[in-house]
Chains A and B, each alone.
Chain A
Amino acid sequence: MGQTLRVTVNGEARTDEVEPRLLLVHYLRETCGLTGTHVGCDTSQCGACTVLLDGAAVKSCNMLALQADGAEITTIEGLAPEGGLHPLQTAFWENHGLQCGYCTPGFIMAAAALLAENHDPSDEEIGRGLEGNLCRCTGYVNIRKAVRAAAQAMREGATAPIGG
């Protein structure tokens, strides 16, 4: 039943046998053990499962794992070197950009894709860039503040953005 999937996850090349119906999010969580990518709505609306696929933000619950064959995937675990924090992670922490934190990995990955393209987004551009992600407790004001702060930190050269 299994088919061969060759994929690079957070810099590590992997080869796995997977069932065609396995969704990318379940591959990441269950096969790779990377549980930072969350399953939220299960209807491809909330964006909690957002990861980077060759640098573009995608919803990993809305892709088959086999469709990622040959691609490079970055999850929240791979955003910063082991033990460190990416400027976005620091900024979400410092600006209270989360409360329960369930949606946070998805927001951070969507924001990472946005900042890789646009180093100084306006509030409106941040809003547009994150329209595929839902937060049900913090609200969006501090999330926007966090993305602005991270953009500034990254412009000042704190850390090179992933895929940037």
Chain B
Amino acid sequence: MIPAAFKYSKAGSVREAVAQLREAGPEAKVIAGGQSLIPLLRLRLSQPTHLVDVNGVRELDYVHPEGDVLRVGALTRHSTLARSELVQRHLPLLAEMAAQVGDPQIRARGTLGGVFAHADAAGDYPTLAVMLDATIVTDRRRVAARDFFQHLFTTVLAEDELVCEVVFPMAPGPHRYLKFRRRLYDWAIVGAAVQKLDSGWRVGLTHVGPTAVRAAAVEARLLAGATFQEAAGAAAEELDPPSDVRASADYRRHLARVLTRRALEQAA
């Protein structure tokens, strides 16, 4: 399958990328790793008039610890995150997630920022960002993760706005990310992430709705002294998961409870 025709330009800096997007108009799109976008182009589900390639914006490829946060550049690839000693030391759950994105070939190309901008309901990093209150930094503003994702494939990003960085709080404590999938390289049918902080547990769920979910009811029960089993029972409260070819809504609720319990048990 061949994508529809489009114009293509390369940006070498954030400023250049934004200028090119502005000039190319509302139907232009950014291409970073392209691991989600190119399949959409081939299926012609997406037909942008112009692609701005940001792979040359090297200034966005970094992992910087700073005080009690970890700043990660948008162009950092999954394979880099999975191997990064800094990530493993300061936010090992991010490295664990990165190692489970797609397959090795996809991890070699796909980028952190691409996952945020694309906003697939089954994306892994958004779950971490929402549950830990991360901040998404664009070329013009800072947005809290819970406000950034609006709906399926929909974020607050303007047409000419570029994701530059994600700022995560450091969290070196017990953690686990469990992804339920039929095939290793596939998206999560449901995923559950848990992270122990000084203030208590944080719990997030992947692919149980149009955007990532923080399982506040589970966190509250844990704080009140519930067992993992009891707390995980609350994971499906207030969820309205999708039914699709992979799983019914009921099955997703079941997976949310089971994966949350297992993740807590394995992390502790």
Contact = CB atoms under 8 A, between A and B. Distances in A.
A67 interface: yes
Interface stretch (B57-65, B105-113, B133-141, B231-239): B105-113
Nearest to A18: B8
B7 A62 contact: no
Contacts of B22: none
Given A20-B51, A42-B1, A64-B34, A58 B109 contact: yes
Contacts of A53: 108
B224 interface: no
B53 A66 contact: yes
Nearest to A62: B38
Contacts of A61: 38, 42
B107 to A, nearest CB: 9
Contacts of A62: 34-35, 38-39, 105-106, 109
A67 B42 contact: no
Interface in A38-73: 42-45, 47, 50, 53, 56-59, 61-64, 66-67, 69
Interface residues of B, number: 29
B104 A67 contact: no
A15 interface: no
Contacts of B51: 20, 64
Interface string B204-225: 0000000000000000000000
A129 interface: yes
B6 to A, nearest CB: 6
Contacts of A23: 2-3, 38, 42
Contacts of B55: 67
B4 interface: yes
A3 B5 CA distance: 13
Interface in B80-125: 102-106, 108-109
Contact of B34 (A67, A110, A114): A67
B39 A132 contact: no
Interface in B1-33: 1-8, 10, 31
B43 to A, nearest CB: 8
Interface of B, secondary structure class, is: mixed
Contact of A20 (B6, B34, B38, B103): B6
B85 to A, nearest CB: 16
Name the residue in B10, B53, B102, B104 with the highest tally of chain A Cβ atoms < 10 Å from its Cβ. B104
B2 to A, nearest CB: 7
Name the residue in A59, A66, A67, A110 with the highest tally of chain B Cβ atoms < 10 Å from its Cβ. A67
Interface string B143-178: 000000000000000000000000000000000000
A47 B41 CA distance: 18
A113 interface: yes
Contacts of A56: 79, 108
A66 B106 contact: no
Interface in A114-155: 114, 128-129, 131-133
Given A42-B1, A62-B109, A110-B104, 13 more contacts: A20-B5, A20-B6, A26-B2, A61-B38, A62-B105, A63-B109, A64-B51, A67-B31, A67-B34, A132-B102, A132-B103, A132-B104, A132-B105
Interface of A: 1, 3, 19-21, 23, 26, 42-45, 47, 50, 53, 56-59, 61-64, 66-67, 69, 110, 113-114, 128-129, 131-133
Interface of B: 1-8, 10, 31, 34-35, 38-39, 41-42, 51, 53, 55, 79, 102-106, 108-109, 184-185
